[in-house]
Structure 1
Amino acid sequence: MHDSVASPSWPRVAVHAVRTAITIAALTLLVGFGALGNVASPGPAAPSHRVDMSAGPLDAMMQQNRCSFTGFDRDVIPSKAIVRTPDGSVELVSFDRGWAVFSGAIAGELVAVCLGPTRAG
């Protein structure tokens, strides 16, 4: 009988274990949601809004050269790119130069990738 008085009953241990597990799970979720909030926070505005040419020259350049802000399927290789230079001008360049801007080898910002103008015929 001395053992049963000195040791807590199994229901009390079970309740304590469940309560501890719930606390740990809640803290884990709280930290996880906090990290998710930092990762999923909205990024910068779309390139067309940052360039401030969305209703004019950029739209025409995008249409004439079949450009996309988000890219194309993996099997489609762009031939041109639109970049914003450090001085703020927007240029249609080769895809290689656009990639160099994207990778940081050349200063500027990649705005869009393009398939190039449609071929007549």
Structure 2
Amino acid sequence: MNTSVASPTWLRVAVHSLRTATTVAALTLLVGFGAVSNVSSMRPADPAPRVDMSSGPLDAMMEQNRCSVTGFDRDVVPTQAIVRTPDGATELVSFDRGWAVFSGEIAGELVAVCLGPSERDGL
């Protein structure tokens, strides 16, 4: 007869399950602490300079060129745009250039899209 005492199967399964669960928990904590460390060390982005839509020259430019900061209906095609250049200048440009700024092909910030001066303004 075999005199060696074999451990019961349920005990081996329990020990193996406990060891696996401990390993998974430790790895999860390690990844979690790493993620928290990375997130906490990130600097918040500097807020973009806000354009004061009630400022004199910009307000006048927007009114004269029938501009909108939110866009127009789908059937209305803008002809111009107002952009802010990287050096801070505000310019009235073609819609194509404004789109290039919006899509990131040209540096700057799109401020508004415009329909251009109205025909009643003599242009």
Range into which the TM-score falls when normalised by the shorter chain: 0.5 to 0.7
Matched, 1:79 2:84: no
> Which ranges in structure 1 are unaligned for 5 or more consecutive residues?
1-43
1:69–1:111 Cα contact (<8 Å) kept: yes
Following superposition, the deviation at residue 105 of structure 1 comes to: 0.2
Q: Considering only aligned residues, what root-mean-square deviation do their CA atoms show, in Å?
A: 1.9
1:83–1:108 Cα contact (<8 Å) kept: yes
> Which ranges in structure 2 are unaligned for 5 or more consecutive residues?
1-46
Residue 94 and residue 62 in structure 1: after superposition, are their counterparts in 2 closer, same or farther (change >3 A)?
same
Following superposition, the deviation at residue 50 of structure 1 comes to: 1.2
Following superposition, the deviation at residue 53 of structure 1 comes to: 5.9
Which of these two proteins has the greater Rg computed from alpha carbons? 2
Pairs aligned (count): 75
Higher helix share: 1
Number of the residue aligned with 1:119: 119
- In the alignment, residue 72 of structure 1 is paired with which amino acid? F
Q: What is the alpha-carbon distance in structure 2 between the residues aligned to residue 70 and residue 53 of structure 1? A: 12
Instruction: State, as a whole percentage, how many aligned pairs show the same letter.
Output: 83
Following superposition, the deviation at residue 54 of structure 1 comes to: 2.7
- In the alignment, residue 83 of structure 2 is paired with which amino acid? V
| 1:58-97 superposed matches below 5 A | 58-97=58-97
Q: What is the alpha-carbon distance in structure 2 between the residues aligned to residue 107 and residue 53 of structure 1? A: 21
Q: What is the alpha-carbon distance in structure 2 between the residues aligned to residue 99 and residue 82 of structure 1? A: 10
Residue 60 and residue 83 in structure 1: after superposition, are their counterparts in 2 closer, same or farther (change >3 A)?
same
- In the alignment, residue 74 of structure 2 is paired with which amino acid? R
Q: What is the alpha-carbon distance in structure 1 between the residues aligned to residue 54 and residue 109 of structure 2? A: 16
Q: What is the alpha-carbon distance in structure 2 between the residues aligned to residue 62 and residue 91 of structure 1? A: 11
Runs of 4+ in structure 1 off by over 6 angstroms are: none
